[in-house]
């Protein structure tokens, strides 16, 4: 056990080099700046599911809204009556599947909402056969149908935007009319027959302006409030919902949203950490994942396709100096049984490591106070020290020159680590790391740490991986561990060589033990993957999955309680 701890201490680092380029050589040829790090495709199945969920919420918003609408003249024999002040009431939408979808390239979705239990109430004025009709007209349909064409584009905040290009009543549904007023007998029957005959135009005039307002006003406004850059420390439902409500409140009071929200997000990020089980990523709370889309959404024969950035970086940092390799989505129907297909470029983990390196995300100090490793951080050890094995046993020259000293090691990366996705036929997933470690003694007369030597470690490994609903799980096989002395009089190269040779199998076991619980995948909180399948392709992962929409967040984006 002591040997295991010691070897891990020695092997947590990477090789020291001189004048290394800022961009690692393995990524130097990735010049597609501003390209798509993530390509997503909602298949026909996924598009139908989202339409079903969205339409239920938006219909509820639409019928409850007071969107402006024009009155309707209904022909009644040789004259007409005027209907105005429409009120709508929607029945239970959960009783039936009501949405059908057709994809219309290059950027439209044709939606038919059918079997709607819809009641329309309106004021009526005018004469029927010289009799005043003033009162109330009620139209009710148990199977109303409305058709609309929705166009998807990209707004100036690089988030999706929707516009209703066409909205009209469909065909093949029935309605019945009721009337509250003074008419009776033949005049009443004529009015009801005329209203039923014109029901298509009446429902259309009442509902379509409300649908347009719900989509182009209500939904688009709230979509624009979702910051496309989300802190790795702030991806929970409560935080995103708080952000939306806060922005809505500021907008209603005509405050400066941009200034206030920027400071809010910074304060929130400073107080929280992005915790990955077993790993210390506390310093990642200033990193943001960019969900912004890089081109207009496309509608193809295979589904709705959206290319997004995927970069992980500091909020205010410059653009990453390398880009994603262009990996297209599959041009076939092999994924039609899944709701979602995603191409995830290795650009994403590499941006995390690139900017993480810049902020010292991977810098670590191991000393006698470090849990599990503290007892071996000594140059000399015996029964009196409480440990029969220590770091001095692997580095005897250091032990001889600095006996009876407590020791600290300070690790830093000297270049961003690299992770390359590759299929097994191309060598598998590759991971490499270069870094530098300083060795310090702590029991010095002046009470200060004293630098006594330094060395570097170069690690190269490959990894096999699989995907669960929320985690990437991997198994590592170390191919190379190279320790390089920077202080040959204290840290002899042959002693470091022996330490590296002994540490290969131990480090491999240790890393696999750490990875056994998996690493969470940052997925946008609107989506929750269900039984995903993963395939490693050259420089990317192809993920195919069904998903559930986060109904709580969706309700906040579309629900009536935010519409006021």
- Report the percentage of the chain scoring pLDDT > 90: 47
Count Cβ atoms below 10 Å from residue 154 Cβ, excluding itself: 18
| Residue tagged 């097994």 (tokens) | 424
Q: Where are the domains of the chain?
A: 44-226, 362-522
**pTM exceeding the 0.75 threshold for the entire prediction:** yes
Q: Are the beta carbons of 517 and 204 closer than 8 angstroms? A: no
Say what the pLDDT of residue 45 is: 94
Whats the size of the chain, residue-wise?
564
Residue 287 CA to residue 230 CA, distance in Å, equals 9
Is the domain defined by 362-522 classed in CATH 3.15.20.10? yes
What is the mean predicted confidence (pLDDT) over 348-352?
A: 88
Q: Are the beta carbons of 101 and 51 closer than 8 angstroms? A: yes
Q: Which pLDDT tens digit goes with each residue over 135-157? A: 999 999 999 999 999 999 999 88
Phi and psi torsions of 562, nearest 5°: -100, 0
Q: Give the CA count within 13 Å in the CB-facing half-sphere of 101.
A: 24
Say what the pLDDT of residue 318 is: 72
Report for 25-29, 143-147, 250-254, 310-314: range of highest mean pLDDT? 143-147
Q: Are the beta carbons of 328 and 39 closer than 8 angstroms? A: yes
User: Which pLDDT band holds residue 485 (cuts at 50, 70, 90)?
Assistant: very high
Q: Are the beta carbons of 311 and 345 closer than 8 angstroms? A: no
Alpha-carbon distance values, 97 to 47, 168, 390, 553 (Å): 14, 20, 68, 22
Residue 266 CA to residue 274 CA, distance in Å, equals 14
Alpha-carbon distance values, 405 to 96, 312, 396, 490 (Å): 75, 42, 13, 14
Say what the pLDDT of residue 293 is: 92
What is the mean predicted confidence (pLDDT) over 273-302?
A: 68
Mention every residue, 6+ apart, whose C-beta is less than 8 A from residue 398.
379, 391, 392, 439, 452, 453, 490, 491
* Residue scoring higher pLDDT (372 or 304): 304
Say what the pLDDT of residue 238 is: 59
Alpha-carbon distance values, 223 to 159, 239, 241, 294, 526 (Å): 7, 16, 12, 16, 11
At 105 the three-state DSSP class reads coil
- Report the percentage of the chain scoring pLDDT > 70: 80
Residue 519 CA to residue 464 CA, distance in Å, equals 13
* Residue scoring higher pLDDT (203 or 232): 203
Q: What is the CATH number of domain 44-226?
A: 3.15.10.10
């Amino acid at each position: 056990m002591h040997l295991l701890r010691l070897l891990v201490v020695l092997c947590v680092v990477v090789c020291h080099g001189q004048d290394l380029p800022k961009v690692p050589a393995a990524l130097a040829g990735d010049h597609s700046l501003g390209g798509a790090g993530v390509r997503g495709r909602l298949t026909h199945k996924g598009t139908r599911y989202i339409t079903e969920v969205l339409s239920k919420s938006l219909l509820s918003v639409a019928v409850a809204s007071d969107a402006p609408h024009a009155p309707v003249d209904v022909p009644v024999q040789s004259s007409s009556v005027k209907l105005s002040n429409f009120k709508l009431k929607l029945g239970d939408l959960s009783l039936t599947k009501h949405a059908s979808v057709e994809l219309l390239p290059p950027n439209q979705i044709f939606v038919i909402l059918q079997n709607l239990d819809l009641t329309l109430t309106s004021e009526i004025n005018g004469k029927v056969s010289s009799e005043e009709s003033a009162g109330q007209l009620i139209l009710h349909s148990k199977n109303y149908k409305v058709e609309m064409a929705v166009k998807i584009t990209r707004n100036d905040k690089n988030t999706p935007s929707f516009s209703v290009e066409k909205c009209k009543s469909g065909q093949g549904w029935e309605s019945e009319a009721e009337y509250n007023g003074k008419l009776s007998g033949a005049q009443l029957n004529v009015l009801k027959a005329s209203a039923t005959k014109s029901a298509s135009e009446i429902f259309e005039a009442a509902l379509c302006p409300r649908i347009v307002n719900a989509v182009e006003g209500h939904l688009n406004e709230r979509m624009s409030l979702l910051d496309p850059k989300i802190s790795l420390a702030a991806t929970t439902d409560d935080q995103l919902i708080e952000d939306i409500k806060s922005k809505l409140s500021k907008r209603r009071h005509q405050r400066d949203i941009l200034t206030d929200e920027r400071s809010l997000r910074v304060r929130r990020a400073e107080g929280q950490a992005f915790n990955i089980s077993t790993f210390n990523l506390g310093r990642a709370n200033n990193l943001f994942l960019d969900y912004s889309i890089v081109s207009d959404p496309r509608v193809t024969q295979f589904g709705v396709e959206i290319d997004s950035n995927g970069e992980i970086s500091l909020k205010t940092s410059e653009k990453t100096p390398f880009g994603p390799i262009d990996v297209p989505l599959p041009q076939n129907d092999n994924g039609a049984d899944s709701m979602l297909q995603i191409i995830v470029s290795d650009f994403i983990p590499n941006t995390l490591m690139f900017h993480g390196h810049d902020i010292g995300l991977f810098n670590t100090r191991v000393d006698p106070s470090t849990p599990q490793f503290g007892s071996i951080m000594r140059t000399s050890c015996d029964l009196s020290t409480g440990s029969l094995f220590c770091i001095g046993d692997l580095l005897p020259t250091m032990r001889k020159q600095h006996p009876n000293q407590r020791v600290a090691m300070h690790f830093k990366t000297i270049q961003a680590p690299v992770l390359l996705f590759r299929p097994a036929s191309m060598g598998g997933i590759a991971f490499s790391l270069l870094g530098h470690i300083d060795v310090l003694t702590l029991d010095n007369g002046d009470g200060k740490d004293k630098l006594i030597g330094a060395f570097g470690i170069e690690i190269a490994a490959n990894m096999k991986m699989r995907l669960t609903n929320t985690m990437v799980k991997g198994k590592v096989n170390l191919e190379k561990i190279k320790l390089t002395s920077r202080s040959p009089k204290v840290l002899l190269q042959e002693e470091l060589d022996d330490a590296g040779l002994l540490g290969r199998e131990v480090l491999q076991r240790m890393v696999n033990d750490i990875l056994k619980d998996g690493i969470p995948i940052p997925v946008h909180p609107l989506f929750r993957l269900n039984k995903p399948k993963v395939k490693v392709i050259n420089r990317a992962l192809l993920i195919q999955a069904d998903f559930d929409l986060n109904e709580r967040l969706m309700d906040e984006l579309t629900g009536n309680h935010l519409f006021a």
